[in-house]
Structure 1
Amino acid sequence: MSTTVTRSRANVDPQIWPGIAYVPSGPRTRIAAALAEKIFTAAVNRLPLRVVYDDGTVLGGARRRTLEDNTPEMRIHRQGDFFARLGDNGLIGLGESFMAQDWTASDLTSVMEVFAAQAAHLVPVPLQKLRGLYLPKPPRKERNSTANTRSNISRHYDLSNELFALFLDNTMSYSSALFDASGPRLLDVRWQDFAEAQQRKIDRLLDQASVGAGTRVLEIGTGWGELAIRAARRGAHVVSVTLSSEQKQLAEERIAEAGFSGQVRVELKDYRAVEGEYDAIVSVEMIEAVGHEYWGVYFQTIDRLLAPGGRVAIQAITMPHERMMATRRSYTWIHKYIFPGGFIPSVRAIEDITDRSTSLRVRERLSMGDHYAQTLRLWEERFLANSPEVEDLGFDEVFQRMWLFYLCYSRAGFQAGYLDVQQLIFDRRPS
Structure 2
Amino acid sequence: MRLLSGLLRSFIKRGQMRVYDVKGALHSFGSGDDGPTVTIRLHDKKLYRSLFLNPELAAGEAYMNGTLTMEQGSSCYDFLFLFSINRAPLGAHPVQSLLRKGWKSLRRHQQKNSVERAKKQARHHYDLSTDLYRLFLEGGLNYSCAYYRSADDTLEDAQEAKLTHLVAKLDLKPGMRVLEIGGGWGSLAIRMAQAGAKVTSLNVSPEQVNIAKQRTIEAGLDDRVEFLLKDYREFEGKFDRVISVGMMEHVGIGHLDAYFAKVGECLSDNGFAVIHSIGRMTPPGTTGPFIRKYIFPGGYVPALSEVFASTERLGLWVCDAEVLRLHYYYTIRDWRGRFEARHEEVKALYDEKFCRMWEFYLCAVELGFLHGSNMVFQLMLSKERDAVPLLRDFTVDNERAMNSAKTPVQAG
| TM-score, normalised via structure 2 length | 0.85
Task: Give the partner amino acid of 2:122.
Answer: I
8 Å contact from structure 1 (residues 243, 268) kept in 2:
yes
- State whether structure 2 residue 288 is matched by structure 1 residue 319: no
| Residues 57-136 of structure 1 aligned to structure 2 (within 5 Å) | 57-62=27-32, 71-78=36-43, 80-101=45-66, 102-104=68-70, 106-124=74-92, 126-128=94-96, 130-131=98-99
The Cα RMSD (Å) is 2.5
* Corresponding residue for residue 190 of structure 2: 229
Paired with 1:262 and 1:396, the residues of 2 have a C-alpha distance of: 40
Aligned to 2:7: 39
Report how far residue 179 of structure 1 moved: 1.6
Structure 2: state its 5+ residue gaps: 387-412
For 1:373-392, list aligned pairs within 5 A. Answer: 373-392=329-348
Check if 1:198 corresponds to 2:159.
yes
Is the Cα–Cα contact under 8 Å of residues 111 and 254 in structure 2 kept in the other structure?
no
Partner of 2:298: 341
Partner of 1:422: 377
CA contact (8 A) 2:80 2:364 kept: yes
Indicate yes or no: 2:226 matched with 1:265.
yes
Tell me the residue number matched to 2:400: none
Tell me by how many angstroms 1:204 deviates: 1.1
Counterpart code for 1:344: V
Identity %: 33
CA distance in 1, matches of 2:385, 2:91: 46
- Contact 2:35–2:82 (Cα < 8 Å) also in 1: no
Other-structure match for 1:148: 117
What is the match of residue 163 of structure 1?
132
Deviates more, 1:376-385 or 1:232-241: 376-385
Which residue pairs with 2:199 in the alignment? 238
Q: Distance in 1 between matches of 2:37 and 2:242?
A: 43
Residues 246-255 or 82-91, more deviating: 82-91
Residues 305-358 of structure 1: per-residue CA shift (max 9 Å, x gap): 111111111111111332x2xx33x661101000000000112211111012x2
CA–CA distance in structure 1, aligned partners of residues 288 and 246 of structure 2:
20
- Superposition pairs for residues 355-374 of structure 1, below 5 Å? 355-356=312-313, 358-374=314-330
Q: What is the distance in 2 between the residues matched to 1:107 and 1:414? A: 19
The 3-state SS of whatever aligns with 1:276 is coil
Q: Is the CA contact (8 Å cut-off) linking 1:85 and 1:96 kept in structure 2? A: no
Residues 14 and 85 of structure 2 are in contact (CA less than 8 Å); yes or no, is this contact kept in structure 1?
Answer: no
Distance 2:42 2:4 in 1: 17
Q: Give 2:401's aligned residue.
A: none
Please give the secondary structure, in 2, of the residue aligned with 1:172.
coil
* Alignment match of 1:412 (pick from 357, 367, 381): 367
Mark the CA change 1:72 to 1:302 in structure 2 (over 3 Å): closer, same or farther. farther
Mapped partners of 2:55, 2:103: distance in 1: 7
CA distance in 2, matches of 1:180, 1:392: 35
Match of 2:262 among 297, 301, 304: 301
- The alignment partner of 1:121 has SS state of helix
Structure 1 gap ranges (5+)? 1-32, 64-68
Q: How many pairs align?
A: 379
Q: Using the alignment, how far apart are the partners of 1:167 and 1:230 within structure 2?
A: 21
What CA distance in whole angstroms lies between the structure 2 residues aligned with 1:111 and 1:314?
34
CA shift at 1:208, angstroms?
1.1
111-120 or 368-377: bigger deviation:
111-120
Q: Distance in 2 between matches of 1:168 and 1:331?
A: 24
CA distance in 1 between partners of 2:260 and 2:101 (Å):
33
- Tell me, in whole angstroms, the C-alpha distance in 2 between the residues paired with 1:70 and 1:426: 42
**Counterpart Cα distance in 1 of 2:347 and 2:96:** 40
Q: Which moved more, 1:264-273 or 1:83-92?
A: 83-92
AA aligned to 2:140 is T
